[in-house]
Amino acid sequence: MAEQSQSLRTPVTGETPSAPAAGGVSRRALLGTAGATGLALGAAGAGVGYAAAPAQATPLSAVGSGRAMFHGKHQPGITEGLQARGHLIAFDLAAGAGRTEAAALLRRWSATADRLMGGEPTTHDDTDVARDAGPSSLTITFGFGNSFFARTGLEKQRPPALDPLPDFSSDHLDKARSNGDLWVQIGADDALVAFHALRAIQKDAGSAARVRWQMNGFNRTPGATARPMTARNLMGQLDGTRNPKPTDSDFDQRIFVPSSGEPGWMANGSYAVVRRIRMLLDDWEKLSLAAQENVIGRKKSNGAPLSGGTETTAMDLEKARADGEYVVPVNAHARITRPDQNGGAAILRRPFSYHDGIDADGTPDAGLLFVCWQADPLRGFVPLQRKLDRGDALSQYIRHEASGLFAVPGGASDGEYVGQRLLEG
């Protein structure tokens, strides 16, 4: 779990403000007017005396004004940096619902996602939960599970890469919290913006689909550290130093289905593996600092490999101590997950931490909502997890409790909805 990097998120600027909603100013328009409004209010207040002056309006912060785009080559929520709040939710189509109902649902969901990611309310019955916020880098991502294709009569369009994942020795899976016909990932840098989107997606499902499972996660809030840095997980480790980067020459090849790939409706899409991984924190926290670092293979303080250097220094797998033992133990997590130790297998990890309370025995129900992306899970997640199954030192401190694999089609063009090429092809 410790091999993933965090890229910086760049707010998109220059979008055209949309028309105000009836009776008020839209949140998207507010991005450009909040500062000017504050000046106007301050001047008006000064005319009637200092004591009566209203508080000056504060412009939306950089966190609130960050915006991801819904339409594009790829769906949002894959290459963006880690987001402070996240919701993962899976749906099953309702009894009697098929391809027609699924197409209508994806059309509704896509329209809602486009509006919410632009900082607009939903078209009707908006809850106003996010009324005062900017887009906050909201992303909404949609995928299809293996079972979706039989439910919609599209078995011939089901990709071979979507075959069920094999069993792993670390699995203790709850079937009720695994898989699903449809999957939605929601991420944002504001908790209320993320919840607002979750509620809107659930309401849009209407009678076409019912919730199968839903999980909530979080990461460090942007700006909480003095400089941008790799995130930490609930074990206190820097989590993700060796994540593939969009600037890598083979990034698209590893993460996205090519435009000429099969099936055609998955062009520019990706496959998401979702795992709820419980961390056995009571056991982990009993280890000494040195023992924890040997399990991971990196320094807890700065993520540097035990062989020396900084976080980004290449790990020296051959370096040995005076007693002949490797400095980075043979079963260290960071050694086992290196692509050059796995035939080049690589995944783009984009997880959320989670904490779902304390069990009756006082054990924290906490860990990682692991989400990873790859062009083909048989060349990405599966070989890595098989290798970890055979001797990862970290395995005795974690437990895989839920699992899912979803085909995430490419992004929708303007005027399209996600999955349209599958459902109407």
Of residues 126, 204, 239, 392, which has the active-site annotation? 239
What's the distance, CA 167 to chain centroid? Answer: 24
Known active-site residue 181: no
Q: Is 190 within 8 Å of 205 (Cβ atoms)?
A: no
DSSP string covering 86-144? EEEEEEEEPTT--HHHHHHHHHHHHHHHHHHHTTPPPSSS---TTTT---TT-EEEEEE
What is the residue whose two structure tokens read 């009571």?
282
What's the CA gap between 8 and 252, in Å, rounded? Answer: 18
Q: Is 306 within 8 Å of 335 (Cβ atoms)?
A: no
Alpha-carbon distances, residue 45 vs 37, 53, 373 (angstroms)? 12, 4, 53
Looking at the DSSP bridge assignments, the partners of residue 403 are 275
Q: Is the dihedral of CA 255, 260, 261, 263 positive or negative?
A: positive
Q: Which two tokens stand for residue 259?
A: 């435009």
Q: Is 324 helix (H, G, I), strand (E, B) or coil?
A: coil
For residues 296, 346, 180, 268, the Cα torsion angle rounded to the nearest 10 degrees is: 150
What's the CA gap between 77 and 80, in Å, rounded? Answer: 6
In 3D space, the residue among 401, 361, 370, 412 whose CA is nearest the CA of residue 171 turns out to be 401
Exposure on the CB side of residue 96, measured as CA atoms within 13 A: 2
Q: Is 154 within 8 Å of 55 (Cβ atoms)?
A: no
Q: Is 36 helix (H, G, I), strand (E, B) or coil?
A: helix
Q: Is 217 within 8 Å of 354 (Cβ atoms)?
A: yes
Other C-beta atoms closer than 10 Å to the C-beta of 62 total 14
Q: Is 139 within 8 Å of 76 (Cβ atoms)?
A: yes
What's the CA gap between 333 and 341, in Å, rounded? Answer: 12
The catalytic site residues sit at: 239
